[in-house]
Amino acid sequence: DTAVSQTPKYLVTQMGNDKSIKCEQNLGHDTMYWYKQDSKKFLKIMFSYNNKELIINETVPNRFSPKSPDKAHLNLHINSLELGDSAVYFCASSTRTVETQYFGPGTRLLVL
């Protein structure tokens, strides 16, 4: 059973395109996150949702918009993709914000 799943696993696209990444967790957790891991392997939080409510919104360009249709899903939509958006994007979930986080397998985004 997959605890935290993401689709797609790989995403190669052209600059200027719009793309979405989906995340689902079946752990019954209340809190979900999006992280970006760049080429230097620095893992940085982008957004956090608790019970479908946005609670953390880091300094991220407006081109990135998260959407949480329900507690088990947190999707990430990216408009007008830029070269610098190339990274691995990880979704994660936890029971609460100060609890252990469980990560999805990551989505490797390459913008050409």
CB of 7 or CB of 103, closer to other proteins: 103
Is there binding between residue 73 and other proteins (CB under 8 A)?
no
- The one-letter amino acid code at 13 reads T
Restricted to residues 30-49, the positions that interact with other proteins (CB under 8 A) are 40-45, 48
Q: How far is the CB of 73 from other proteins (least distance, A)?
A: 18
Q: How far is the CB of 25 from other proteins (least distance, A)?
A: 13
Task: Decide if 75 contacts 52 (C-beta within 8 A).
Answer: no
Is there binding between residue 60 and other proteins (CB under 8 A)?
no
Q: How far is the CB of 1 from other proteins (least distance, A)?
A: 16
Residue whose pair of structure tokens reads 């947190």 in the numeric block: 74
Residues 6+ apart with CB under 8 A from 101: 33, 92, 93, 94
The C-alpha atoms of residue 102 and residue 79 are separated, in whole angstroms, by: 27
The C-alpha atoms of residue 89 and residue 98 are separated, in whole angstroms, by: 21
CA distances from 105 to 5, 59, 71, 77, 89 (A): 7, 24, 19, 18, 9
The residue from 8, 18, 27, 58 that contacts other proteins (CB under 8 A) is 58
CB of 8 or CB of 16, closer to other proteins: 8
Q: Which residue ranges make up the site for other proteins (CB under 8 A)?
A: 40-45, 48, 50, 55-56, 58, 90, 96-98, 100-106
